[in-house]
A and B are shown apart, each in its own frame.
Chain A
Amino acid sequence: MATLQTTETDPLVIAGRMLHSRLLLGTGGFPALSLLAEAIRASGSELVTVALRRVDPSARGSLIDVLAQEGVELLPNTAGCFTARDAVLTAKLARDAFETNWVKLEVIGDEDTLLPDAPELLKAAEQLVDEGFVVLPYTTDDPVLARRLVDVGCAAVMPLGAPIGSGMGIRNPYNIALIREAVQVPVVLDAGVGTASDATLAMELGCDAVMVASAVSRAQDPVAMAAAMRDAVRAGRLAYGAGRIPRRTYATPSTPSEGLADFS
């Protein structure tokens, strides 16, 4: 029997960087930085996303300082970009600001659904890979697009389970499993997670990690939900490795019938 895997013996490796947590946390939506810090601790996440926005001279507290204090790595995103050009420029600015060549690439095609714009996404990914970035693209649950993104050199793919912030869970689990089969890089389920069981399902489908933002930050108790997500990802990973039993229509007794008493 194989030794029980732990987060120490079963790390997530993206572009050569080893992470012991398979949960990525978004920093958006937390009403206070102190709550964000608590949620980071409860989640066990080592990689958190940040956005790049205009400096607000009246802003209180420094997000960067809080994240440095928590000892997490930054994953800048290109949220709000609708063209490859804007996304590439934003990634370059983030590299200068945060001294990381990692980027969670988002190129949005529609304001209502915030779904990715596939052609622009692919174009931006190719340019950024050429510029030496480690690119983690937020993509649709399309296995063909995922493969194209990996073909141009993306270090991972981040398919959505459902639209950003929708909390609708994984709408097409078959496609997520197909993406896992289609590419050789880590698959990070991104967007759509509403509660812990969604994160577990992602891991059971073979995803290498899960990214959550709103599901934690907008929960009634974000810190408790962060802890729930930590355990959910761990449970799903273990279950995936353990190998589930096949689904059957009829019952299969778990108690042997041999030696059954005869009361007739």
Chain B
Amino acid sequence: MIVVNGKQRKHGAGEPLVAVLDALGLPADARGVAVAVEGEVVPRAQWTTFSIPEGARVEVLTAMQGG
């Protein structure tokens, strides 16, 4: 189980971050997107290699109108 943007997902633990991006309809090189796992930035250069730990909270963020 992992938590992506506040929603629990049964699968995903042990998979690379790009799998989560793909599930959100995002390409592996998505522009204007950033990812945090357990409150730490995972730089885009590591998206294909970073393996999501069991129970991890993943935040996938992008530009929204604001400020």
- What is A's interface to B at a CB cutoff of 8 Å? 26-30, 36, 49-55, 57, 62-64, 67, 74-77, 79, 89, 92-94, 96-98, 104, 106, 213
Contacts and interface: CB of A to CB of B under 8 A. Distances in A.
Contacts of B66: 26-28, 49-51, 53, 77, 79
A63 to B, nearest CB: 5
Contact of A64 (B26, B32, B36): B32
Interface residues on B, range: 20 to 34
A36, A67, A96, most chain B CB atoms within 10 A: A96
A35 to B, nearest CB: 11
A51 B64 contact: yes
A200 B31 CA distance: 37
Q: A interface, by DSSP: helix, strand, loop or mixed?
A: mixed
B1 interface: no
Nearest to B7: A54
A55 B6 CA distance: 11
A88 B60 CA distance: 17
B21 to A, nearest CB: 9
Interface string B30-66: 0111111001110110000000000000011111111
A193 to B, nearest CB: 13
B65 A93 contact: no
Nearest to A24: B67
Contact of B36 (A57, A89, A98): A89
A55 B62 contact: yes
B67 A57 contact: no
Given A52-B34, A55-B33, A27 B67 contact: yes
